[in-house]
A and B are shown apart, each in its own frame.
Chain A
């Protein structure tokens, strides 16, 4: 039911119009002067208003102006007996829909109001649509911002293409792999990205029906494991389950691949190192068994002794490997106590007394009293020094000397072990702590070892935040220095 306001100082007209329009189905309010007209017209949202031009208090034009300002969608008509071109222009300029000359017939009025009401409905509809559109745009903008924020916060590279292979969306992480820019949106990028990725994407394009699954592949974007990625392509469906496009997710797995490579290299190396002594033992056994070789009993015994030696080394190696593995996994049980390095050194060197005498090696110990104690596992620290001191004997020359010193300096317990042995070449020194590295030359040939000792020593030192370094001169001797910081380990 249209709501209408009649503003007129003429009582008869107000009543007559009111009666007429009520009968026509309008809801009618009336105002007898301009002031009241403004009051009603601005506080209520009337569909229509008929305003008399000439009123004693306020001019109809001002009433129109006030109502239009507050209620721009109220369709206003100006009624007047003093019609003039100028006032008509003025009224239209101020927003009046039309101009009703007085006196008017009921038919004339109704006709005007009906078209006015139609206009009002259109205006309201347009207004509603506009508001809805604005709201939706706001919503979309918000959604888009939110989506962008989410997509950009993903660590993996995300690239979306439509079903023609044209770039639709990408996140900042994708820029680590490809130089994409907003200006490329809409461009076909299948020739631009790695052919293997294009191939994955093409799986979806060439399939006749919609593929509801993902395709993954590990791809080396830069050779020699410099940049390896895991690429997963998944379909983006339309509402009707047809293909809208493809999402490409790129995960950097370079570090993982590097670790994998190091691990498999290590396994190969272990296999080789284990195979060599086995091959030697097997070789000897075959020769002993084979009657063709006609070995003397002495020769047989020699070969068996050598086989035994290789097997002892092999068992040592397996034990060392198990220790390394336990250290790596951290399953090695540790008993942390306060231990005295000087005592460990003494008990180690006591043990070597016989060997020192045999080779006429001089041992000089500089172990001051009252050194701070180290909190560590006794067996591990003992093993560390057994190895280094053992090396200083093994690789020494006869009649040489070994110097062992401990000092406490700047919160560090520093032990240095020097020998007058064969020393090392710089390139040997650099590889010294690598697994299975053994300096091979005339003088080391007959010295047994697994090639794992120093690598274990280094692991032990580092597990107590310590460090081990070596100074060496080829042919003159080496000095190993083991540093344990007390602050961290206490």
Chain B
């Protein structure tokens, strides 16, 4: 049976990084839809209902990605898809944590936390893990 192609929403306000990550994820067989700001991202999310979302933490505002991930996770559809945050800036915001424990996930409202530049193998593995997890729910 052919594997179902998953659609991932990728959000970053740096268009160069957005395009690079899109290419990299596409090379792993995902279908990527993109948005360059939080408002567009929300609209695309509602319309396209992606299978996962990967958000840059720092966009127009320092915590824009953070807020967007909360919003998606509160959504009736969004609460059942994996959401990852990307950052190169834990030392700027002073936020230093990962989402490894249940407690942290509860608080951060996302399924994983990746530093930029992304390690695609690890991200892909984590994505598949989460797809399994949500499917079994």
Q: Which residues of A contact B (CB under 8 A)?
A: 268-269, 271-272, 275-276, 279-280, 282-284, 286-287, 292-293, 306, 310, 440-442, 445
Contacts and interface: CB of A to CB of B under 8 A. Distances in A.
Q: What 4 pairs between A and B have smallest CB-CB spacing?
A: A283-B20, A280-B16, A440-B60, A272-B92
A441 B61 CA distance: 11
Given A269-B92, A440-B59, A287 B23 contact: yes
Given A440-B59, A445-B15, A284 B20 contact: yes
Given A279-B117, A292-B27, A310 B16 contact: yes
B89 interface: yes
Interface of B: 13-17, 20-21, 23-24, 27, 36-37, 59-60, 88-89, 91-92, 116-117
Contacts of A279: 17, 88, 116-117
Q: Counting chain B CB atoms within 10 Å of each CB, which of A272, A287, A292 scores highest?
A: A272
5 contacts: A272-B92, A276-B14, A280-B17, A282-B117, A284-B16
A287 B20 contact: yes
Contacts of A310: 16
Contacts of B117: 279, 282-283
Contact of B36 (A268, A271, A284, A445): A445
Contacts of B27: 292-293
A284 B15 CA distance: 12
A283 B17 contact: yes
A268 B20 contact: no
Contact of A272 (B16, B59, B89): B89
Contacts of B59: 440
B60 A280 contact: no
Given A272-B89, A283-B20, A286-B20, 15 more contacts: A268-B92, A272-B88, A276-B14, A276-B17, A279-B88, A279-B117, A284-B16, A287-B23, A293-B23, A306-B16, A440-B13, A440-B37, A441-B37, A441-B60, A442-B37
A272 B89 CA distance: 6
Q: Counting chain B CB atoms within 10 Å of each CB, which of A275, A280, A282, A310 scores highest?
A: A280
A272 B14 CA distance: 13
Contacts of A271: 91-92
Contacts of A268: 91-92
A440 B59 CA distance: 9
A253 B133 CA distance: 52
A290 B72 CA distance: 34
A284 B21 CA distance: 10
A442 B60 CA distance: 11
A409 B91 CA distance: 48
B113 to A, nearest CB: 17
Nearest to A307: B16
A272 B24 CA distance: 23
Contacts of B13: 440
B93 to A, nearest CB: 9
B37 to A, nearest CB: 8
A280 B89 contact: no
A87 to B, nearest CB: 101
Contacts of A286: 20
Contacts of A441: 37, 60
A276 B15 CA distance: 12
Contacts of B15: 445
Contacts of B92: 268-269, 271-272
B87 to A, nearest CB: 10
